[in-house]
Structure 1
Amino acid sequence: MLRSCAARKRRRVGPPGARSAPAVLSVARVSPQTLRPEKTTPARAVARHGWPQALGTVLAGLIVMVVVASLGLWAAGAADLPDNAFPRVVAATFVTAVGGTIELSGGAGAIAETQAGLTVIPLSVTLAGALVMAAGFLRPLRHRAVAGAPELAGWAARIAVLWLAALIGLSLGARQTFAIPLGEVGDFFGTSAEVGFEAAVAPTVFFGLLWLAGVFVLALLVSRAPLPARLLRFQESVRPAAYAMVVLLLAYVALGLVIGVVVALTRGHAAETAAVILLGLPNVVWLVFTIGLGATWDGQVEGPFGLPMPKLLDQVMRGPDVSTLDLGSLAEFDGRVWWLVVVNAVLLLGAAFVMAVRSPARVRLWQHAVHMTVALLLTVLMICLVARISAHYGLSVLGIGDLGGDLSGELFLRPRMWSALGFAVLWGLVTGFVGGVLAKGVRRRGAVDGVG
């Protein structure tokens, strides 16, 4: 009441007839919140990327890879291996998934000698780990406009140090020895042969770190994460093409997963199909992708070995002679193989369209064709390097060659590199040009600034 009377008196001050001045807001009427300075709150908080976040990324990648490998090996029957070897086989699968080396050895003293070797990458385990590690690496970089090279290098180094420790630990655990009966010869001499595997630590560490670096580089190329200033000039041409190739490869994996699930539900053999999906699905679908382009692979399956692949490929490759895998040879067993050409055409045109839409508007049609060609060429080269398989096993007793039967065998699958790369160039030029033409009508205005 007293404040209001005082305010009315102040308003009456002034000569008679004069227009009253505007009332001055009393300090007593100003709330404490009004006097506080306004705080500028960022729209989105920047995620931290210290050691705890690096540990979380590495643990997530390890858990996913180990779980996928364990389920795939369990479906393949590896849980019944003697001497509780299953965990060590899982560790060996992880080692090969990141490009590490598994050395096989064995024998029975002076009586028997084992010659064995294995080169294979379970790409389902590899792909699962790569996706999780890439997501963990990119997460702190979201909502960022700029990221300096020292910051990116420091963040990657933290993950790499912890990843190195995991590589060493799993490499040391990936070793096991199994006893193999020699039949009548073994009974006569009272002995049995042994065969075992052991991870080579040094090559595993080297290729495991190289694999991690490749995952990080590809993640930066594909995503919208900020790049250092010196690399910004490359993102207009490289980033849309890299994104399109990743989408293409994942589309093939998704298509193969759908087909595998349908086959498991309708034709039985659910365990075998699950083993293929969880261990070698990309091995199968990316191989089929290159064959659909026109590439040729040479392969052979002999002895007790079996391919973690559809029966069609096993039928073509099984025998004493080297077999040729291409559209013609596969069509002799199943004429539906020619549909691979149609599927390739549709998916490649879709990838080229995505690349063109994400490219700046000033990119010309011939540049789209060149970008698609280079990207597809590198993609097919990668498939040819990681999808090849080589395995052999032989047992000689008293210096007498391989005993044959279930005690020896050979398996290999390798591409004819130049034919695969040649067809990649042809498909890249055609689909890149057509994709650029299709994207002209849908590219939004101002796309010149959309780097992708």
Structure 2
Amino acid sequence: MSTGTPSGQAAVRHGWLQALVTVVAAALTMLVVASLGLWAAGAAGLPRGAFPPVVAATVVTAVGGSVELSGNAGSLAGTDAGLTVVPLSVSLAGALVVAAGFLRPLRRGAFRGAGGLILWAARIAVLWLLALAALGVAARHTFTLSLGDSVLGGLGDVFGLSPRVGFTAEVPRTLLFGLLWLAGVLVVALLVTRSAPLAGRLGRLREAARPLAYAMVALLLACVVLAGGVALVVAATRGRPAETFGVILLGLPNLAWLAFTLGLGATWDGRLTGPFGLPLPPVLEEVLRAPDLSTLDVRTLAAHDGRVWWLVVVDAMLVLAAAVLAAPRPPAGTAAWRHALRTAVALALTVLAVCLLGRVRAHWGLSVLGVGDLGGNLAGELLLRPRLWGALGWAALWGLVAGFLGALLARGARAARGRSGGT
């Protein structure tokens, strides 16, 4: 392949080095964020060199990979554990680095045309899969649990039981979903940037989708920034700063985007039992700690703290700002109703992604001769799952209203600027 310029030919020849720098930078960023988050959460004290494998497992789950939990407590005991969660702070950090590394040579014109673009993405993908395979191999460990002075501890002493639990990354599944994660990041990066040249049909497609794609990404990042500001205030005023920073470095987007969907009117089902290593917002923990499955929406949260209604106000401002940001510019103006439909689709797709990525299912438990853990630290559950169709319906409705108003506001602002410029 030739780009017709010496610099372009050099970029093609050395594209593997650029791809390697991008992948290594992304992997190191995710490892550093995961390490700091786990350290702040207290995981550095895990026994028998468990911290590095736990960090690797966190990065694996951050790209959609799977970690299988297992337990062995002998023939007289049983263990049960499962984990489905995406630490979105780690995911977001890696995605930003990958996107920046992917777009940099494209802005310089090093890879032109569909063939050059595919070649550049393929190089990153190959090295990314190698990095994920290494992380998957590293993400495995086994712990021996101490039963303490509980009822289970006494039974364990009598029968000589030493419960063991461990985790192992499912490498094939990790490679598959890690590749899908990378593809999603690269596609979104291409959609939201204007500086990477695309010709022909790809260019026309990007020009049509870019305003709303850019607006939705800006909307999600604004939610994270606002939530980060609130979290810093909490860390400074309410104690437990280390654990709060653990939340910021591991799951800040999880909470920020959950709050965003709740403000739109979405409903989640959830439950929290047993100990949980990271602090949740008090109002969220109060609702989730119930005997049965809890309904999580603005009304149930507001019953514990009326300030939750501000979520609706903040969402209204953010969604309307995104609609104005994405409003079409003349001369290729679009009718307000058409912009409303496009905004509804874009916001529904955004909420769909949040709901799929924000689901949490974590449970762990141990029983000996049928006796379960009685209030100790060996059993618990954290569950969060969205009522998907309701969330998408509310997102589409908000998108319709905000898109229509945003088109009118943008049109009025441009008309006002035109009048002031003509006088």
TM over 0.5: yes
1:130 maps onto 2:95 in alignment: yes
State the 1:186 CA deviation. Answer: 1.2
1:139 corresponds in structure 2 to 104
State how far apart, in whole Å, the 1-side matches of 2:405 and 2:10 are: 41
State how far apart, in whole Å, the 2-side matches of 1:46 and 1:357 are: 38
Which stretches in structure 2 are left out of the alignment for 5+ residues? Answer: 148-152, 417-423
CA contact (8 A) 2:244 2:278 kept: no
Which residue of the other structure, out of 314, 331, 352, is the alignment partner of 2:285? 314
3-state SS of the aligned residue for 1:363? Answer: coil
State the 1:46 CA deviation. Answer: 9.8
Which residue of the other structure, out of 123, 138, 160, is the alignment partner of 1:173? 138
1:5 corresponds in structure 2 to none
State how far apart, in whole Å, the 2-side matches of 1:177 and 1:121 are: 21
1:156 corresponds in structure 2 to 121
State the 1:442 CA deviation. Answer: 4.0
Moved more, 238-247 or 48-57: 48-57
CA contact (8 A) 1:104 1:116 kept: yes
State how far apart, in whole Å, the 2-side matches of 1:80 and 1:132 are: 29
State how far apart, in whole Å, the 2-side matches of 1:236 and 1:229 are: 11
Report sequence identity in percent: 63
1:48 maps onto 2:11 in alignment: yes
State how far apart, in whole Å, the 1-side matches of 2:268 and 2:30 are: 29
1:88 corresponds in structure 2 to 53
1:289 corresponds in structure 2 to 260
Distance 1:368 1:308, change over 3 A: farther
State how far apart, in whole Å, the 2-side matches of 1:147 and 1:363 are: 31
State how far apart, in whole Å, the 1-side matches of 2:330 and 2:110 are: 19
Which residue of the other structure, out of 245, 253, 264, is the alignment partner of 1:274? 245
State the 1:207 CA deviation. Answer: 0.3
Which stretches in structure 1 are left out of the alignment for 5+ residues? Answer: 1-41, 446-452
Q: Deviations over 1:420-439 (max 9, x none)?
A: 11110110000001111111
Which residue of the other structure, out of 92, 100, 104, is the alignment partner of 2:69? 104
2:375 corresponds in structure 1 to 405
3-state SS of the aligned residue for 1:186? Answer: helix
Q: Deviations over 1:131-161 (max 9, x none)?
A: 0000000000115499311100100011111
State how far apart, in whole Å, the 1-side matches of 2:329 and 2:366 are: 56
| Aligned-CA RMSD value | 2.1
Distance 1:46 1:273, change over 3 A: farther
State the 1:211 CA deviation. Answer: 0.4
1:304 corresponds in structure 2 to 275
What is the one-letter code of the residue matched to 1:48? A
Moved more, 319-328 or 343-352: 319-328
1:189 maps onto 2:189 in alignment: no
CA contact (8 A) 1:300 1:323 kept: yes
State how far apart, in whole Å, the 2-side matches of 1:438 and 1:201 are: 50
TM-score by length of 1: 0.85
2:310 corresponds in structure 1 to 339
Which residue of the other structure, out of 25, 28, 31, is the alignment partner of 1:60? 25
Structure ID, larger Rg = 1
Moved more, 202-211 or 318-327: 318-327
Distance 1:96 1:146, change over 3 A: closer
Write out aligned runs for 1:212-251 (5 A): 212-224=182-194, 225-251=196-222
Q: Deviations over 1:84-131 (max 9, x none)?
A: 111110000000000000100012221222111000000000000000
1:382 corresponds in structure 2 to 353
